[in-house]
Amino acid sequence: MPEVVAGATALRTGTIAERCEVIGMDFFNEIPEGGDAYVMKAVVHDWNDEAALKILKKLPACHSQ
């Protein structure tokens, strides 16, 4: 949620800020596509199996070429 990512200051400073975007949203409804990596630190373990699967199924599919 937007109020949670407000504290992600480490990702907004230094050279990493040029390579990442911090987006606040409800991961049960939508996860933006096009990311090279999705960091969900301390997310999935907080939910029961059914909810965790719902979150993971929202992740855009990885396609190798």
Give the residue extent of every domain in the chain.
2-58
Question: 33 is written with which tokens?
Answer: 């596509």
63 part of the active site: no
Q: How confident is the model at residue 38 (pLDDT cuts 50, 70, 90)?
A: confident
- At residue 31's C-alpha, the angle toward residues 8 and 33, to 5°, is 105
Choosing from 19, 45, 57, 63, which is the catalytic residue?
45
Q: How confident is the model at residue 48 (pLDDT cuts 50, 70, 90)?
A: very high
pLDDT tens digits, 23-37: 888 888 888 888 887
Gap between the Cα atoms of 19 and 12, Å rounded: 10
- Give 3-state DSSP helix, strand, coil % of the chain, rounded to 5: 40, 0, 60
Q: What is the pTM of this model?
A: 0.61
pLDDT tens digits, 3-22: 778 877 777 787 888 888 88
